Amino acid sequence: AQSVAQPEDQVNVAEGNPLTVKCTYSVSGNPYLFWYVQYPNRGLQFLLKYITGDNLVKGSYGFEAEFNKSQTSFHLKKPSALVSDSALYFCAVRPHSGAGSYQLTFGKGTKLSVIP
């Protein structure tokens, strides 16, 4: 069975500084990896995904994530944080095939607070 770990419940960063939200995963075979963001009282919004190929993927709102197969990590990054980036961030994984390949497995989420 697949699993996702987001080791930090909360990340605080000053506006304008770079931010990183950590994610590690466990899955049989190759993974599809995703980041979603949830703003208060809203649903989850897709940010970016890794399917195959280039390990650095770029997504919405200036976010990017780096896939590291050896470390089974998919950390979310942004060079310069904005106050409007404050939200709850979820990492998720799906296996390429086999049982549960249509199921997204989520981490617990990381609350990002960007301080003005």
Partner 1 sequence: EAGVTQFPSHSVIEKGQTVTLRCDPISGHDNLYWYRRVMGKEIKFLLHFVKESKQDESGMPNNRFLAERTGGTYSTLKVQPAELEDSGVYFCASSQEGTGFSPLHFGNGTRLTVT
Q: How far is CA 39 from CA 17, 34, 81, 89, in A?
A: 21, 17, 16, 9
> How many residues belong to the site for partner 1 (CB under 8 A)?
27
Under 8 Å CB-to-CB from 100, ≥6 apart: which residues?
1, 2, 94
Residue 44 is a binding residue for partner 1 (CB under 8 A): yes
CB of 1 to partner 1, least distance (A): 11
The residue type at 73: S
* Tokens encoding 19: 């931010």
Instruction: Please identify, among the stretches 18-26, 33-41, 61-69, 70-78, the one whose residues bind partner 1 according to the rule CB under 8 A.
Output: 33-41
Is 45 an interacting residue with respect to partner 1 (CB under 8 A)?
yes
Could you give the CA distance from residue 64 to residue 34 in angstroms, rounded to a whole number? 11
Residue 34 lies near partner 1 (rule: CB under 8 A) = yes
Positions in the binding site for partner 1 (CB under 8 A)? 4, 32, 34, 36, 41-46, 49, 51, 90, 94-97, 100-109
